[in-house]
Amino acid sequence: MRLGTSFRTLLDADAAFAYLSDFGSIEDWDPFIRHAERLDPGPPLVGSRYHLEGRFIGRSVALDYQIVELDATARRVKLIGSGGRFYTGWDEITVAPMTSGGSIIRYEAEIKLHGRARLMLLLAPLGFLLGGRRALAGMGRRLDSMAGRA
């Protein structure tokens, strides 16, 4: 399943990218992620790893992500993720400045469930879509609240 959308935020592009390129921030805006931990020190860069713990359909889910592409000039970061033998996917975030201030966030993700987990896509595709929308709405609210403090 592939998801993608764009939205505007009040936060300037550099600050938005600095925040979103550190995927540990996901616990601040994705309601399904209970905890996100950066596994190595320093600023985000290609190879940086994250461990996420979340909840989906009443079950605990552990996911591991790694940055595979990071271009600070283009304000784009791409991560690949896995959750044991049941989940693989990727997330890509691009931030573009707006001439009127603020920025446009482009978020794309691909979710691949394997084995018995594929049944969840058959049973709950609407849940995945609504969950993705809730996470992106949370991202937008978090970025806008950061702009209000700037």
- Model confidence at 118, pLDDT cuts 50, 70, 90, reads low
Rounded to the nearest integer, the mean pLDDT of the chain is 86
pLDDT greater at residue 29 or residue 85 = 29
The helix (H) or strand (E) run that includes residue 122 is helix 118-123
- Model confidence at 116, pLDDT cuts 50, 70, 90, reads low
* Strand ranges across the sheet with 2-9: 2-9, 103-113, 87-97, 76-83, 59-71, 49-56, 33-38
Task: Inform me whether the pLDDT recorded for 121 exceeds 70.
Answer: no
In the CATH hierarchy, which top-level class contains the domain 2-149?
A: alpha beta
Q: Which sequence spans correspond to the domains of the chain?
A: 2-149
pTM: 0.83
